[in-house]
Structure 1
């Protein structure tokens, strides 16, 4: 993978921040966008901006073709069985809320169990808290190992015949661990539960095959994989989606509307009320084209190398501590002695380096780690070893700035 050539596709990277070349290490929060995506969105607004499904005129047909063509690209990208199984959403959060509010509330009752983990992003905790409160179900947590990983015997011990839903993130946005979703799904199904996967941090970085994982629902966000913000998708097995009620009502998702009752369209449109995110879907389709051209296996290999290289280099800094297993996806979450992560991020920003600092929407995990916050450097296909070196050099300067002498 020629990273130098890839970087040429990302115009935002060719700039200075605070007088220094931009080093963007915050792709786990949101990725940068290739020019192909920017052009696809611009082309839609310039040449065939129109609403979808409703019109028979030429622009409406072109817009509908672009929108539904993007759905097919998502289907192929994650290897779903049919386009009916792909629901466009605003992102992973919306997708998980649809599952919780529709499937969860429709199938849970007092005494049932929902099983998640302490490492989950807030978007995979709060919806289940709300569903448990509304239905009387019990929310349970799979315990974590010392390095933050999940052990299958703990899954076996936590998931019972009372468990109806198991919902786990594929890749942790803090620990970087890649969870054994296929094995967890097998345990869930053995107990009669459905498997929900938060794929926000995995879909941009590795090949996803929802049929091989045998998950029942899979949520993803476009903005973390080179697409615009405000677009994502929910995959669901067709038989489950068909039995679920929509959670948003209005135009576009209806079949017949009377004065007292209405009926819904077939899948996938019954879950897409109102004018959809047309430009976003087209941008997502363009992002998928770009990622597939580069190759997901090559991207995963490159990021794995950068993460290992970063840990190797950063571990030479006295007082550096990282969280999670050594084998990880392309991010490193860390703290530096007694320097607050927000101070670390502020000093790095002055040098043109963008990292994330805070609780990363994972407050229960911060409590489990016994920290209030951390800093995080996250990598993508456009990052280089030289940028990791720049990060290391400036973390050493940060220590010195706050009075810590590096030896």
Structure 2
């Protein structure tokens, strides 16, 4: 289920310009599309998905499949609420696979059978490895959040696969992308199935990196001791699920989350909060002994996630917390310079040499 919702395309540009540019979009393309787009949902000239898809098709025709995939990722943003968005996602997958020979990595697209509600689901994942010898390396599970999905996370996935000594399994969290199930409490079963798959695929060590809402699932993996290391970038954990925070969500984020939760029409703030309360991971902290090392990163100026959802980890043992000044949600504009630090931390964590506290 999905639905369109009122959101000004100008607001989408305002919030996401830094993110789009950090993915490698030329400034000239951004400004050209900013001037030509006049509608968020219309599948016609001037429509968001229509114009971004036309630009992506030009890059595809020129043989630049990597940039085409990234731009189709913008075309599908923010939710798969109509056929133009779903078509953009299909095109993104096609272009991403075509661009794989240029990754400088071994790449595999695989469909996994994973447990869900006494049955199984089929979830496409992308596996990236420096040498293809999965059995010799730890495995890093990696996902984005409700509006940035596995292919949008390619810069992170590629950096870790090349430099952290890990095999990366990039996936779409429940409620997003190619995931066939909504964002609900049963989604934890899918993550547990991914952890089991990762242990069998690699050398037995598993880490979990989640960006935005993906970090919520990563936090759970760490707090229950299911994985050997966690990186949480900008996760909603507790305060984000309070009514006061739901009331201040901007740029359509409430309805983006509503789509992920499986609503078929705009929900009341009360219904939204009720749907999200299953993801309050702070309740797991009382029984957590800190044995899983955790790195927590977010921007100091996040408009979606209260700062308290980051700083609450400062008292957790075996945890480093970094609040990045002059950065917004997930510190996305600073990720290129933060990534080497995160890679070093993960290497140390998996070898047992990461500092147990610090900021």
TM-score, normalization: structure 1?
0.21
Which structure carries more helix by proportion?
2
Structure with higher RCO (Cα < 8 A, 6+ apart) = 1
Structure with greater Cα Rg:
1
TM-score, normalization: structure 2?
0.23
